[in-house]
Every structure is written in C-alpha cells, then in structure tokens.
Amino acid sequence: MAIAARIETQRAEILARAIKRPLTSGDRDSWTRVAQSAWGLPEINKLWDYAALTEDNIGTCHGIFDGDRMMGASIGIIKIPPEGALYLFLHQLGVDEEYQRLGLGYELMKVNYGLIENKLSPFIETLALTSDPFVARNVNLYLHKSRMHSNEYKRDFFEGIEKEGGNEHRDMPSDRFYYKAKPGSAWVKGAVYPGQQDYTKYMENHPDDVFLFDPEEVREGRCLTHVNPPSQLAFVETSVNPSVVKDLWGDEALLWSEQHRIVFTELFENQSHTAVDYVALPDEKGEMRHYIVTVKNFSENNTDCLKEAL
C-alpha cells in the first residue's frame, strides 16, 4: 500500500507540472534518448524522416515534458488507404523507463484522441496502431485504459524485428495486434468494464473459454480442442513482457506466439470475437496471470456488450 501511495503521489506531482506540446526538429535527440530507454533500440527515425514528420507538425508528433526533459512522446501519421476513410496511425509511442507506470502513455493517447475530436481533419474519425500482445502493460494501456479494440492478428508485421527489435523483442516473432478506436464512439466515451470478481466467476463457470499457455498443447495441436463456438467471451493468457517469457520458458518461448497465432486466428476470423479488455487475476497458487478478454459480435455503439456477455 505504501509503494502504491508513493507512486500515485509521484504521478500526481509530475502530471501537475507536465507540459504537452508538439515536437519540433530540435527535439530529435531527446526523442532518440526516450526511444532507446523504452525499447533498447540503437536508433529511431532517421534524421530526414524525423524532420519530415515534425515539420509544421505534419506528423501529429507530440511530447510530454518535465521541464526541459522529455518523458515520452508519440509520432502519428495520417494514412490514406486505397479504400475507406482517412485515419490517424500512431506509428510510435514511447515513455522513458524512468517515467513508466505513471500514466504518461495514457496522457499521450488522450492527446491523440483530442486531435481527432477537435477535427484534425473532418474526414478522420479513427485512431489505429499496432502493439505486441505479449506485453501486458501495453495491452492494458490500449484495450483497458484507452478502450481500443482489435480483431486483427498480424503475423510478422514488422519484418526483422525478431533480430533488431530492441531488448525485449529480439529473438521473438514480430507479431502484432492491430488496434482501432473512434474517440467519439460510445465505447470509448463510456464502456462498462466488469470487475475482477465478475471475470473470475465467469471463468470458473466457463473453463472452456479460458486459453492458458501450455507448450504441450501447442506441440500436439490441441490449442483449440475445447473451443466453444457459441461462447460469448474468451480469455487468452498473455505475458508481462517477452523478456520474462524468454527467461521462464527458454526455447519454448516461441510456442507462446504459435499458440496466440492459432487461438486468435480462430477467435477473430472464425468466431467473430474482438479483443476489448485486459485483466490480471491470481491463480490457485496466488500467482498473477494476465489475460486478453475477447467478446463476440462487438459493437462500438454498445457500451454494455461485455456486461451482457457475462
């Protein structure tokens, strides 16, 4: 309790004095430092790329600062798809490791939501981004805190990241969730999330809807043996981060990705499920397990869809 109170006090103090502003070409060194701290990458954004993105803030690049020190930043790009409407793609969002777990990532998400709500363009309603479903804190940020959703599992989305993807992602597949959200939607404005006790009760009563990681199941092709097509909810285990997975499972760590590929492909493409929430719950040994929550036939217009599924 004392640690939680200290973190909350630190968070409140930092947010009270934090400055949010568009990035400029002069912020590149600060952004490089943040990116190296957040991801362990040796270089982020070539000089000419960064200059193009920040020139007159074309790239909707924003930072959050403690005085002159950049604590975190996001870089967004307006995408023009071959078909469909324009949207804002959040290409990068990073927070200096020293300032992580203080809610700064969510503050940056709110900046980007605000850009869309304040008519960045009359043709842009949607924010999209990709993130590794292995990193629980990111899943929590995007699904739970920011109320985004995903029903697209992208295999090898960032080619080569398993070799050059920073400290956590190196030697792991470059798979990604593709998240979307309309900041003006009913879901983002007021989604109703069940409590931990509600989720626990449901999982106890519907064990076939829970997909725990089991390397033997993956090897033997039994990941989906208990899948229940009429199920309205599913809980897919994820991890704290890839580094923990590699430390605990060694050569078997790659089987996590294979299980996710099999299970999410089934849920997203065949069972009409959408990932909409994240929850951490203790197991019978008291150890925390992390789950991505999916719901069938999700609608951004229905704030009670999770509650109704329970």
Q: What are the boundaries of each domain within the chain?
A: 2-189, 191-309
pLDDT at 53: 85
What is the average pLDDT score of the chain?
90
For the residues of the chain, what is the DSSP string, one character each?
-HHHHHHHHHHHHHHHH-EEEE--GGGHHHHHHHHHHHH--S--S-HHHHHHHHGGGTT--EEEEETTEEEEEEEEEEE--SSS--EEEEEEEEE-GGGTTSSHHHHHHHHHHHHHHTTS-TT---EEEEE-TT-HHHHIIIIIIS--EEEEEETT-STTHHHHSHHHHTTS---EEEEEE-TTSHHHHH--PPPHHHHHHHHHH-GGGEE---HHHHHTT-TTTT--TT-SEEEEEE-S-HHHHHHHHGGGGHHHHHHHHHHHHIIIIIS-EEEEEEEEEE-TTS-EEEEEEEEET--TT-TTHHHHH-
pLDDT digits (tens, 9 = 90+) for 221-273: 999 988 888 899 999 999 988 888 888 888 898 899 999 999 999 999 999 99
Separation of alpha carbons 230 and 186, rounded Å: 26
Give 175's pLDDT tier (boundaries 50, 70, 90).
confident
Name which of 35, 173, 171, 43 is nearest 94 in CA terms.
35
Tens of pLDDT, residues 177-203: 999 999 999 999 999 999 999 999 999
Superfamily of domain 2-189: Gcn5-related N-acetyltransferase (GNAT) (3.40.630.30)
Q: pLDDT digit string (tens) for 202-222? A: 999 999 999 999 999 999 999
pLDDT at 4: 73
Does residue 163 have a pLDDT over 70? Answer: no
- The pLDDT value recorded for residue 22 is 94
Statement: residue 169 has pLDDT above 80: no
Q: Which residue has the tokens 């270089």?
A: 43
pLDDT at 9: 85
Whether pLDDT at 159 is above 70: no
| Three-class HEC string of 149-162 | EEEEEECCCCCCHH
Which of the two residues, 49 and 275, has the higher pLDDT score? 275
Q: What is the pLDDT of residues 47-96, one digit of tens each?
A: 878 888 888 777 789 999 999 999 999 999 999 888 888 999 999 999 99
Share of residues in the chain with pLDDT > 70 (%): 95
Of 267, 277, 41, the residue nearest 153 (C-alpha): 267
Q: Which of 104-108, 158-162, 217-221, 255-259 has the lowest mean pLDDT?
A: 158-162
Per-residue confidence at 165, pLDDT binned at 50, 70, 90? low
Greatest CA separation for the chain = 56
Q: Whose CA is closest to 291, among 149, 139, 67?
A: 139
- The model carries a pTM of 0.92
Identify which has the larger pLDDT, 211 or 44.
211
Using pLDDT thresholds of 50, 70 and 90, give the confidence band for residue 297: very high
Q: Would you state the pLDDT for residue 1? A: 64
Can you give the pLDDT at residue 166? 67
